[in-house]
Amino acid sequence: MWREGYVRGGDTRFYVRAFGSPQWREPVGRGGEVVGGDPEEPGDDLALLLHGWPQDGSSWAAVAPRLAAAGYRVVCPDLKGFGRSDTPRTGYDPATLADEIAQLIPNLHARKAVLVGHDWGGAISLATAFRHPGRVQALVVASSPFRQLDLTVSWHVPLFNLPLAPQLAFKLAGRPLTRAAIRYSAVVQTPFDEAAMDRYADAVTVDPAAWLAYYRTLSRKALVDWGIRKVRRRVRFLTSPREPNRLRVPAAVIWGEEDRVTPFHLAGRVAHDLDARLVAIPGVGHLVHEEAPQVVSDVVLDLAGPGPLDPGADRLGSTDAG
């Protein structure tokens, strides 16, 4: 089963679900079970999985046990602004988000982590890897359009940048809107039963103004970057830096070939910009970690290798990740 509790990353209290060893530093309680223990020496056995919109940390339920069985402690937080984590109005710029994850990792009793991020979780993972490479052992991003946007398909991005209307819509009709978004995003529908739909609706209706800050901060930066690149391509003397995005950690990019939210034609350019391996998954849409969890788990383990914990040790308690 999941072990659940609150752990601080910077000024944000993250609600986390853990699979594997429960020990980390200084848990912060705010209702529910608080997980902690006397910390031993920090290790490199942590896999930190960051979800996207419109989900929460429970979306990794089919991936976490596979990584735990390979020797990792797996932690899946609700991102800031979602679910039961804090929902401040500010602090959604890339630097702040990356700093919080970099501070969360040692509070989860690790020196560094394998970061796996989907959608907005991928953007935060990338920001962390660029800003704090010493905290990142390896990086896997899924369906996350780094420096690439296609607004002819991702029409929701400008829509969510409108003032007032989006948060009002999700306050009044958040549940049907979340269900519609999931149904539209996923090609493989079987993981999304009524219980999952209810969890995700709860995650995005707590405080819509909070998670909308991702679209109003990170997406605007992506649009500015996109505009600058367009100008540089057309004006010869405004050349781009030769290696502006050189990652210092091994990386892989995963993409569903039938993604209708962040279309597959972006994937090759993202992988190129990150100098990363690209894994294309046929017959899968945007929510790759739920639609094809085995593939996602295999990519993580191929990139990062098995975890340092003994897979035979009695540390999981149960194989039920419900």
Number of CB atoms found within 10 A of residue 232's CB = 14
- In terms of residue numbers, what domain contains 32? 3-304
Instruction: Please report whether residue 320 resides in a domain.
Output: no
**pLDDT of amino acid 26:** 41
Q: Give the burial string for 3-14 (b: 16+ CB within 10 Å, else e).
A: bbbbbbbbebbb
* pTM score: 0.84
pLDDT single digits (tens) 159-210: 677 777 888 888 889 999 999 999 999 999 999 999 999 999 999 999 999 9
pLDDT single digits (tens) 226-239: 554 554 455 554 44
Instruction: Please report whether residue 309 resides in a domain.
Output: no
Give every CB contact of residue 311 below 8 A, 6+ residues apart in sequence. 69, 70, 71
| pLDDT for 3 beyond 70 | yes
Tell me if 48 sits within 8 A of 300, measured CB to CB. Answer: no
Instruction: Please report whether residue 192 resides in a domain.
Output: yes
User: What CATH number is given to the structural domain containing 90?
Assistant: 3.40.50.1820
Instruction: Please report whether residue 315 resides in a domain.
Output: no
Q: Region 269-292: what's the mean pLDDT?
A: 96
Q: Region 106-134: what's the mean pLDDT?
A: 96
The tally of domains found in the chain comes to 1
Number of CB atoms found within 10 A of residue 282's CB = 10
Task: State both tokens at 73.
Answer: 């402690």
| 306/38 Cα distance (integer angstroms) | 25
Instruction: Please report whether residue 143 resides in a domain.
Output: yes
Instruction: Please report whether residue 204 resides in a domain.
Output: yes
Give every CB contact of residue 175 below 8 A, 6+ residues apart in sequence. 197, 198, 201, 205
